[in-house]
Structure 1
Amino acid sequence: MFGSYKWLQDYVDLSGVTAEELAEKITKSGIEVEGVEVLNEGIKGVVVGYVQEREQHPNADKLSKCLVDIGEEAPVQIICGAPNVAQGQKVAVATVGAVLPGNFKIKKAKLRGEESNGMICSLTELGMEGKIVPKEYSEGIFVFPDDAEVGTDALALLNRDDQVLELGLTPNRSDCLSMLGVAYEVAAILGRDVKLPETVLQSTSEKASDYVKVVVEAKEDNPLYVAKMIKNVKIGPSPLWMQTRLMSAGIRPHNNVVDITNYILLEYGQPLHAFDYDRLGSKEILVRRAKDGEKIVTLDDAERTLTSDHLVITNGSEPVAIAGVMGGANSEVISDTTTVLLEAAYFSGAAVRKASKDHGLRSEASARFEKGVDPNRVRAAGDRAAYLMVKYAGGEVLEGTAEVDTLTVEPAIVSITLEKINRVLGTNLTAADVKDIFDRLQFGVTIENDFVTVSAPTRRGDIKIEEDLIEEVARLYGYDNIPKTLPIGSSTPGKLSDYQKKRRIVRQYLEGVGLYQAVTYSLTSEEKAAQFALNQGEFIRLAMPMSEERSILRLSIMPQLLEVLKYNSARQNDSLGVYETGAVFLANGTEVLPTEEEHVAAAITGLWHSHSWQGEKKPVDFFVLKGILEGMFAKLGLLDQVNFVQARVDSMHPGRTAEVQLNDQKVGFIGQVHPKVQKELDLKDTYVFELSLKDILGEETAALQYEAIPRFPSITRDIALVANKETVSNTLKEIILTTGAPLIKEAHVFDLYEGEHMEEGKKSIAFSLKYADPERTLTDEEVTKVHNKVLDALKEKSGAVLRG
C-alpha cells in the first residue's frame, strides 16, 4: 500500500510530524514502513510556462521553435521535440540551471543552429513511470489546465512535492489498504481525530429504482449490491489534483468517471464499478454464477471463457463484468457516456479469488475483495463517488438506490481482564490507560470490575480473540515501553551433544581432505532401493509419491551419490569426490513408523592428484579411499579398533571390496563400484564407502593418553613370508603384533609378489617390523629371540614361512 503524506493530511492533522518521523512511528506500532519515497528528490528549477508562439524549426522537421513565458521579465526561446506542443499550452519547463532525474542539468544550448534556453518536459522526464502517465500524454509533453499560474512550481502542481510511504501490510491488516484505514491508524498513534470526507448529496426527483432493478441469485457470494444512477455526466479529464494522487499510487488516469471510482478505491478501500447505462442493454442487473463455457470480453479487450465457479454481473442475459475483478468492454464508460450506473457491492473473497486466479487478472479491486472490505463502508463509498461525479463530471444523482441487501454483519465483541493484559505484557497498565488506547483506536470499550469489553468496528475484521486485544494494547502502548525482565527459573545452556560434536568432526574432516558435501533426495526408485544397502529389508513406499523415481524411502545413500557423480561427469567435471551424512529408513512392519538411521557415505572418481608441471597424475584407487577412512577413524580415536575384511557386496567389485569392522562388528563397506554399474552410469573407476554413522559415533572412545618421546633407539627388521594366496595380510599382522608384544611396536606391509618364481597357490608378502623398549636399548640377542618366536607363531598359526 502506497500512502501519500500530503493526501493523509486531508484526514489527520500531521503538524509537527515529518514523513520520516511518521514512518518510524507506524513501524514501531506494528506495520512496517518499507520506505519513504521523496517524489521530487534531486529535481529543481521546473516551473509552469505558457507557449506564446510555436513555429517549425527552420533546420529540422521534428523540432519546434517555441517562445515561452516562464514568469520572468521576458519570454525565452526553447527548442522542443515533442509532437504535441502547440501555441496556447501551459507546460512544465525546466529552466536554465534546473536539475532533472539522473542529475541531468539544463544548460543553454544550440539545436540545429537555434538557441534553446530550457526544456519543455514530459512527465517521464520528471521521473514518472510511463505506465502511469495518461495515454494522451504518453508520447509527448504534459499540458496543464488553463487555470495553472505561469511561473509557479510545476512540481507542486503535479503533486511531486509529496512523500509516499510504502506500507508492508500483513494479510490481517487489510483495513490499511485505503487512505482512510491508514488515517485511523495514524490518528490512533498520534492521539488525534479523523476528519471524514464530504459526501453530502443533492438528489433529483427521479428515482434510481425506476431506471434499474437489481436481482441477486448468488446471495452467498454477493449479499449486498447497491446501484446508484447519475445522469447528465460530461466525460472529460479529472481534476489535476486527483490525477496526480492516482499517479502517486501507481494508477493511470483515464477520465473523470473512471478516475473517481479508482480514487474511492484508494480512499475508502472499496472497489466500485461504473457502467454506461445506455450501453447496458437492459434495465436489469442480475448477479449470478456464470454458465460453463459462457464468454465475456473484458476491458483489456481479451475474450475470456467462464465457468460456474465464477461470479458475474449481467444485464439479465449476458455478462457485463466479472464480479470484483474486471468490467466488460460492452458496458465501458466512454467519451460520449451521459448516464452512469454506479455499482457498490460486497463480494465474497473466495469467489473473487477464484475468478482472479483462473483468468490471471490480479487487480487493485480483486486484491481488496480477496483480503476483505469493510461491509459498513460500501454505501458510504458509493455516496462519496456520486458526490464527486456531481462535482467534477456535472452529473445529477437520482434519488435512492436499486439494491439487494441480505448482509448481516455485527461488530466483533471481545472481552478480557485487565489482569491478563498486564500478565501477558509484563506491564502495570491501569483501566484508564487501556480505555484510552481503545478510544484512540475508535473501538467501543466498557470496563467493569477489571473486565474489559471491546466492540471492534467492522473495518477491523482482524479483531476476534483476546490475543488480538492484547496485541492492540501492546503496539499502541509502545513495544519500546514494555519493561524488560530476565527469565525466572533454572535453565540449561544450549550445547552440542557428544554425538553432534563427533558428526561435526566427521564433516569437517571429509571436507578437509577435499570432498564436497552433497544433500540428495531421501526418496528413490524401487530399482535402486536395494542397491548398496547395509541392512536389507522391506521397502517403505510412499502413499502418494510425486513420481515412480521418488516413490521409495532409501535404504542406502550410495545410489544418490553416484547420480551426483554421473551428473557432473556429463558436464566434464569427471574428477570429483563427494560425501553425505543423512538418514536411511528401515522398515518396522506396517503398523510402526520406520527407524531412521544416520549413515555417512562418500564416492570419488577420476584423478586424485594432477600436477601437469611435474608430470604427475594419480588416479583414485582403493587405497586412496581407505586412507581417507583411516584418517577419519584416527580423528575419532577409533583407528586401533577398525579392521578391513575382504567381502562381497551387491553392486560392488567382487575383488576390490572390503567390509569395515569396528570391534569385530560390521559397520559398513568400502571398495570399487562394480564395472557393470560404472558402465551404466558412464563413470570411470569409482570408489565408495558407506558406514553406519550411528554405530561409529555411538562407540565409546578411550580418554586421550600421552606417551613420552622414546629416549632409546628402535631396531627395524624386514621379513618376507611365503603364505597361501587366500591368507590376508591383516591375519599375519595380528599374529606378528600379538606374538611380538611388547617389543614389536609396528608392522607394515611393504611388498607383495605373486610372480612366476612362486609355486602355485602361494604368494610372498613382506613386512617391516619395528622393535623398541622405552626403558632401554635392545640388544641383537633380544630382538633375535623375539623375531624367531614370531616366525614360529606364523608357521604354526597360518602356515606362513620365511622366504628362502
Structure 2
Amino acid sequence: MFVSYRWLQEYVDLTGISASDLAEKITRSGIEVENVEELGEGISGVVVGHVVEREQHPNADKLNKCLVDLGEGEPVQIICGAPNVAQGQKVAVAKVGAVLPGNFKIKRAKLRGEESNGMICSLQELGIEGKFVAKEYQEGIFVFPSDVEVGSDALELLNLHDEVLELGLTPNRSDALSMLGVAHEVAAILGRDVKYPEIAVKENDEKASDFITVKVEAKEDNPLYVARVVKNVKIGPSPLWMQTRLMAAGIRPHNNVVDITNYILLEYGQPLHAFDYDRLGSKEILVRRAQNGEKMVTLDDTERTLTEDHLVITNGIEPVALAGVMGGANSEVQNDTRTVLIESAYFKGLTVRTASKDHGLRSEASARFEKGIDPNRTRAAADRAAALMALYADGEVVGGTVEVDTLTIEPAVISITLDRINGVLGTALTAGQVKDIFIRLQFEVKEEEGSFVVTVPTRRGDITIEEDLVEEVARLYGYDHLPTTLPISEATPGRLTPYQEKRRKVRRFLEGAGLLQAITYSLTSEEKATQFAFEQAAPIRLAMPMSEERSTLRLSLIPHLLETVKHNNARQIDSVALYEIGSVFLPTAQGELPQEKERLAGAVTGLWHMHGWQGEKKAVDFYVVKGILEGLFELLGTADLIEYKLATKEGMHPGRTAEVFLSGVGIGFVGQLHPAVQKELDLRETYVFELDLQTLLTVDVKEVQYEAIPRFPSISRDIALVVEKEIPAGEIQRVVQEAGGKLLKEVMVFDLYEGEKMEPGKKSVAFSLRYFDPERTLTDEEVTKAHNNVLKAVEEAFGASLRS
C-alpha cells in the first residue's frame, strides 16, 4: 500500500510529525514501512510555461521550435522533440539551471543550429514511472489544464513535493489497504481524531429503481449489492490533483469517471465499478454463478472461459463483469458515455480469489475483496463516488439506490480482563491506560465486573479473539516499553546429545580433510533407488509423485552424489570431493512409515593435491579415500574395531572395493566405481564410500588412554613373505599381530612384489615389525623368540615362506 503523506493530512492532523517520523512510529506499532520516497527529490527549477508559438525546426524533421512564456518577461526559445507539443499549451518547463532526476542539469544549448533555453518535460523526465502516466501523455510531454498560472511551480501542481510511505502489510491487516484505514491507524498512534470526507449528494427527482433492477441468485457469494445511477456525465480528464494522487499510489489515470472509482477504492478500500448504462443492453443486473464454458471479454480485450466456480455480473443474459476482478469490454465507460451505473458490492473473498487465480488477473479490487473489506463502507463509497461524478463530470445523480442486502456481519464483541492482558504482556498497566488505548483505536469499550467488553468495528475484521486485543494493547502501548525478563525455569541448559557431538566431529573432520558437504534430494527415480545400496530392500514409492525422477525414497546416498560430481565436471571443475550425511529409507510392515537410517557417503575424483611450483601432482586413488576413513575411525575411537575385506559389489570395481566391518558386522564399503559405470556417467576415475553412520556413532568404544613415551629402545625386523596371490595382506597382518604377542607393537606393510622372479600365482608381501617393552630394554633372544612365533604362525595359516 502506497500512502501519500499530503493526502493523509486531509484525514489526520499531522502537525509536527514529518513523513520519516511517522514512518518510524507506524513501524514500531506493528506495520512495517518499507520505504519513504520523496517524489521530487533532487528536482528543481521546473515551472509552468505557456507555448506562445510553435513551428517546425528548419533543420530537423522531428524537432519543434517553440516560443515559451515562463512568466518572467520575454518568452524564451526552446527546442522540443515531443510529437504532441502545440501552440497554446501549458507545459512543464525545466529552466536553464534546473536539475532533473539523476542530477541532470539543464544548460543553454544549440540543437541543429537553433538556440534552446530550457527543456519542455514529460512526466517520465520528472521521475514518474511510465506505466503510471495516462496513455495520451506516454509518448510525449504532459499538458496542464488551461487554468493553471504561468510561472507557477510545476512540481507543486504535480504533487511532486509529496512523500510516499510504502507499507508492507501482512494479510490480516486489510483495513490498512485504504487511506481511511491508515488514517485510523495513525490517529490511534498519535492520539488524534479521524476526519472523514464530507459526502453531499444532490439527487434529482427521478428514482434509480426506474433505471435498473438488481437480483442476486448467489446470495452467499454476494450478500450486499448497491447500485447508483448518474446521468448526463461528460467524460474528460479528472482533476489534476486526483490524477497525481492516483499516480503516487501506483494507478494510471484514465478519465474522470474511472479515476473517481479508483480514487474511492484508495480512499475507502471499497472497490467500485462503473458501467456504461446505455451499453448494458437491459435494465437488469443479475448476479449469479457462471455456467461451465460460458465466455466473456474483459476490459483487457481477452476472452475468458468461465466455470461455475466464478461469480459474474450479468445484464440478465450475458456477463458484463467478472465479479470483484474486472469489468467486461461490452459495458466499458468510453468517451461517448452519458449515463453511468455505479456498482458498490460486498463479494465473498474466496470466490473472488478463485476467479483471480484461474484467470491470472490480480487487480487492486480483487486484492481487497480477497483479504476482506468493511461492509459498512459499501453504501458510503457509492454515495461519495456519485457526489464526485456530479462535481467533476457534470453528472446528475438519480435519486435513491437499488440494493440487495442479505448481509449479516455484525461487529465482534470480545470480553477480556486486565489481569489477562498484564499476564500475557508482563506489564502492570492500569485499567485507565488500557481503556485509553481502546478509545484511541475507536473501539467501543465498557467496563463490566472487572472485565472490558470491547465492540470491534467491522473495519477491523482481523480482531476476533482475546489474543487479538492483547496484541492491539501491546503495539499501541509500545513494544519497546514491554519489560524484559528472564524466563523462570529450573530446566538444565540445552546441549548436544553424544550422538550429535560425534556427528559434528565427523563433519569437521571431513571438511578439514578437504571434502565439501552436499545436500541432495531424498527422492529419486525407481531405477536409481537401489543402486549401491548395501542393505537389499524393496524401494518405497510415493503414492502421488510429482515426477518419475522424484518418485521413490532412496536406499543409498551415492547416486545423487555422483550426479553432483557429474554436474561439476561438466562445468570444468575436474577435482571434486564431496560428502553427505543423510537418511535412507527402509520398508517396514504394511501401512507403517518407513525406517530412517542415517548414512555417511562420499565421492572423490580428480587430483587430491597439486603443488604447481614444485611440480607435484597426486591423483585420488583407493588408498587416499581409505586413509580418510581410517583417520575418521581413529577420531571416533573405533579404529581397533574396523576391518576391511575385499568385496564384489554391483557398480564397483572388482579389485578395488573393500567392505568395511565394525566388530565383525558390515557397516559399509569403500572403493572405485566400475569403469563401465564411470563411462556411462561420463566421469573420470571416481572413488566412493558409504557407511552406516548410526551404527558407527552408537557403538561402545574404550575411553582414551594415554601412554608415556617409551624410554627404552625398540627393535625393528623386516620380513618378506611369499604367499598365494589371492590371500589379502590384511589377513596376514592380523595373524602377524596376534602371533607377535605383547612385545610386537606395530605391524606395517611396506612393499608388494609380483614381478618376473616370482613363481606363477605367488606374490611377496613385505612387513616392518617393531618390538619394544616400555619397562625395560629387550634382549635379542626375546625378540627372536617372538619373531619365530610370527614366522611359524604365517606358515601354518597361509603356507607362507620367507622370500630369499
TM-score class, shorter = over 0.9
In the TM superposition, what are the counterparts of 1:473-488 in structure 2 within 5 Å? 473-488=473-488
Q: CA deviation at 1:123?
A: 0.8
- Structure 1: gaps spanning 5 or more residues: none
> Quick check: 1:104 aligned with 2:118?
no
> Quick check: 1:19 aligned with 2:44?
no
In the TM superposition, what are the counterparts of 1:727-742 in structure 2 within 5 Å? 727-742=727-742
What amino acid sits opposite 1:335 in the alignment?
Answer: N
State the Cα deviation string for residues 50-99 of structure 1 (Å, max 9, x = none): 22333333333332232322232433222222222222222211112111
Q: Secondary structure at the match of 1:67?
A: strand
Distance of aligned partners of 1:228 and 1:555 in 2 relative to their CA distance in 1, 3 Å threshold: same
Q: CA deviation at 1:706?
A: 3.5
Q: Secondary structure at the match of 2:143?
A: coil
Q: Secondary structure at the match of 1:434?
A: helix
State the Cα deviation string for residues 89-146 of structure 1 (Å, max 9, x = none): 2221111211100000111222223322221111111100111111222222212122
Q: Secondary structure at the match of 1:227?
A: strand
Distance of aligned partners of 1:553 and 1:385 in 2 relative to their CA distance in 1, 3 Å threshold: same
Q: Secondary structure at the match of 1:273?
A: strand
Distance of aligned partners of 1:642 and 1:259 in 2 relative to their CA distance in 1, 3 Å threshold: same
Q: In the alignment, which residue of structure 1 is the partner of 2:621?
A: 621
> Quick check: 1:383 aligned with 2:367?
no
Aligned mates of 1:738, 1:580 — CA distance in 2: 37
Aligned mates of 1:745, 1:594 — CA distance in 2: 46
Q: In the alignment, which residue of structure 2 is the partner of 1:588?
A: 588
Q: In the alignment, which residue of structure 1 is the partner of 2:249?
A: 249
In the TM superposition, what are the counterparts of 1:123-522 in structure 2 within 5 Å? 123-522=123-522
Q: Secondary structure at the match of 1:404?
A: strand
Aligned mates of 1:726, 1:121 — CA distance in 2: 91
Q: CA deviation at 1:355?
A: 1.6
Point out the more displaced range, 477-486 or 263-272.
477-486
Point out the more displaced range, 470-479 or 350-359.
350-359
Answer yes or no: is the 8 Å Cα contact 1:177–1:368 preserved in 2.
yes
Aligned mates of 1:674, 1:60 — CA distance in 2: 76
Distance of aligned partners of 1:86 and 1:591 in 2 relative to their CA distance in 1, 3 Å threshold: closer
Answer yes or no: is the 8 Å Cα contact 1:419–1:450 preserved in 2.
no
- Structure 2: gaps spanning 5 or more residues: none
Aligned mates of 1:202, 1:634 — CA distance in 2: 93
In the TM superposition, what are the counterparts of 1:650-661 in structure 2 within 5 Å? 650-661=650-661
Answer yes or no: is the 8 Å Cα contact 1:45–1:98 preserved in 2.
yes
Q: Secondary structure at the match of 2:736?
A: helix
State the Cα deviation string for residues 411-439 of structure 1 (Å, max 9, x = none): 11111111111100111122221111111
Q: In the alignment, which residue of structure 1 is the partner of 2:58?
A: 58
In the TM superposition, what are the counterparts of 1:768-787 in structure 2 within 5 Å? 768-787=768-787
Q: Secondary structure at the match of 1:62?
A: coil
Q: CA deviation at 1:663?
A: 2.5
Q: In the alignment, which residue of structure 1 is the partner of 2:791?
A: 791
Distance of aligned partners of 1:134 and 1:632 in 2 relative to their CA distance in 1, 3 Å threshold: same
Distance of aligned partners of 1:416 and 1:102 in 2 relative to their CA distance in 1, 3 Å threshold: same
Aligned mates of 1:608, 1:10 — CA distance in 2: 72
Point out the more displaced range, 630-639 or 459-468.
630-639
What amino acid sits opposite 2:600 in the alignment?
Answer: V
Q: In the alignment, which residue of structure 2 is the partner of 1:563?
A: 563
Aligned mates of 2:291, 2:447 — CA distance in 1: 53
Q: CA deviation at 1:692?
A: 0.8
Point out the more displaced range, 670-679 or 86-95.
670-679
Aligned mates of 1:37, 1:801 — CA distance in 2: 91
Aligned mates of 1:792, 1:329 — CA distance in 2: 103
Q: Secondary structure at the match of 2:94?
A: strand
What amino acid sits opposite 1:152 in the alignment?
Answer: S
Question: When the two structures are aligned, how many residues end up with a matched partner?
Answer: 804
What amino acid sits opposite 2:137 in the alignment?
Answer: Y
Point out the more displaced range, 624-633 or 663-672.
663-672
State the Cα deviation string for residues 284-307 of structure 1 (Å, max 9, x = none): 111112222222222122222222
Q: CA deviation at 1:220?
A: 1.4
Distance of aligned partners of 1:140 and 1:541 in 2 relative to their CA distance in 1, 3 Å threshold: closer
Distance of aligned partners of 1:761 and 1:141 in 2 relative to their CA distance in 1, 3 Å threshold: closer
Answer yes or no: is the 8 Å Cα contact 1:431–1:447 preserved in 2.
no
Distance of aligned partners of 1:623 and 1:200 in 2 relative to their CA distance in 1, 3 Å threshold: same
Point out the more displaced range, 106-115 or 542-551.
542-551
Distance of aligned partners of 1:156 and 1:639 in 2 relative to their CA distance in 1, 3 Å threshold: same
Aligned mates of 1:215, 1:653 — CA distance in 2: 79
In the TM superposition, what are the counterparts of 1:515-534 in structure 2 within 5 Å? 515-534=515-534
Q: In the alignment, which residue of structure 2 is the partner of 1:647?
A: 647
Q: CA deviation at 1:453?
A: 1.1
Q: CA deviation at 1:184?
A: 0.7
Q: CA deviation at 1:538?
A: 4.1
What amino acid sits opposite 1:178 in the alignment?
Answer: S
State the Cα deviation string for residues 601-637 of structure 1 (Å, max 9, x = none): 1122344456677665544332222112112112223
Q: Secondary structure at the match of 1:723?
A: strand
Point out the more displaced range, 151-160 or 77-86.
77-86
Aligned mates of 2:105, 2:40 — CA distance in 1: 15
Answer yes or no: is the 8 Å Cα contact 1:431–1:450 preserved in 2.
no
Answer yes or no: is the 8 Å Cα contact 1:320–1:331 preserved in 2.
yes
Q: In the alignment, which residue of structure 1 is the partner of 2:122?
A: 122
Q: Secondary structure at the match of 2:144?
A: coil
TM-score, structure 2 as length reference: 0.96
Q: CA deviation at 1:271?
A: 0.8
State the Cα deviation string for residues 575-624 of structure 1 (Å, max 9, x = none): 43322111112233125433211111112234445667766554433222
Aligned mates of 2:120, 2:682 — CA distance in 1: 68
Q: CA deviation at 1:759?
A: 4.1
Q: Secondary structure at the match of 1:742?
A: helix
RMSD of aligned Cα (Å): 2.1
Q: CA deviation at 1:570?
A: 4.8
What amino acid sits opposite 2:593 in the alignment?
Answer: L
Q: CA deviation at 1:11?
A: 0.6
Q: Secondary structure at the match of 1:354?
A: helix
Aligned mates of 2:575, 2:483 — CA distance in 1: 60
> Quick check: 1:78 aligned with 2:78?
yes
What amino acid sits opposite 1:266 in the alignment?
Answer: L
What amino acid sits opposite 1:666 in the alignment?
Answer: G
Aligned mates of 2:484, 2:609 — CA distance in 1: 59
TM-score, structure 1 as length reference: 0.96
> Quick check: 1:578 aligned with 2:587?
no
Aligned mates of 1:613, 1:189 — CA distance in 2: 69
Q: CA deviation at 1:13?
A: 0.5
Distance of aligned partners of 1:106 and 1:549 in 2 relative to their CA distance in 1, 3 Å threshold: closer
State the Cα deviation string for residues 371-405 of structure 1 (Å, max 9, x = none): 11111111000000000011111111111112211
Point out the more displaced range, 684-693 or 272-281.
684-693
Q: CA deviation at 1:37?
A: 0.4
Aligned mates of 1:136, 1:529 — CA distance in 2: 62
Q: CA deviation at 1:489?
A: 1.9
Q: In the alignment, which residue of structure 2 is the partner of 1:715?
A: 715
Aligned mates of 1:549, 1:394 — CA distance in 2: 65
Aligned mates of 1:607, 1:561 — CA distance in 2: 18
What amino acid sits opposite 1:228 in the alignment?
Answer: R
What amino acid sits opposite 1:112 in the alignment?
Answer: R
Point out the more displaced range, 572-581 or 441-450.
572-581
State the Cα deviation string for residues 718-776 of structure 1 (Å, max 9, x = none): 11112334432223222322332333221111222344544455432211122334445
What percentage of aligned pairs have identical amino acids?
Answer: 72
Q: CA deviation at 1:513?
A: 2.6
Point out the more displaced range, 457-466 or 576-585.
576-585
Aligned mates of 1:359, 1:593 — CA distance in 2: 40
Aligned mates of 1:177, 1:110 — CA distance in 2: 50
